[in-house]
Amino acid sequence: MTELGEHCDQVCTELHAAWAIAKKDIIIYYLKPNIIVSGMLFPIFMFLAFAIGRPEVPAVMIPGLIAITILFSASSIEPVSIPIERRMKTFDRLLSAPISLHTVVLGESMSGFLYSLGIAFVPLIAGLILFPTPIVGFAALIAGLVLTSFCFATMGTLFAAYPTESPGDIMSMLNLVRLPLIFVSGVLIPLEQIPQIGQYIAYFSPLTYGNDLIQAAFAGDTHFNPAIDVVMLLLFILIFQFVANRLYKKYND
pLDDT digits (tens, 9 = 90+) for 54-109: 666 566 678 888 898 899 889 988 998 899 999 988 888 888 878 888 899 999 99
Residue 1 resides in a domain: no
Residue 9 resides in a domain: no
Residue pLDDT, tens place only, 121-130:
888 887 777 7
Residue 7 resides in a domain: no
Residue 42 lies in domain = 14-252
Residue 141 resides in a domain: yes
Confidence of residue 2 (pLDDT cuts 50, 70, 90): low
Residue 182 resides in a domain: yes
Residue spans of alpha helices (H) in the chain:
2-29, 33-36, 42-51, 58-74, 78-87, 90-95, 101-130, 138-159, 167-184, 196-202, 206-218, 226-252
DSSP 152: H
Residue 110 resides in a domain: yes
Residue 2 resides in a domain: no
Residue 26 resides in a domain: yes
Q: What is the pLDDT of residue 26?
A: 83
The DSSP-derived string for 223-236 is SS-HHHHHHHHHHH
Number of domains in the chain: 1
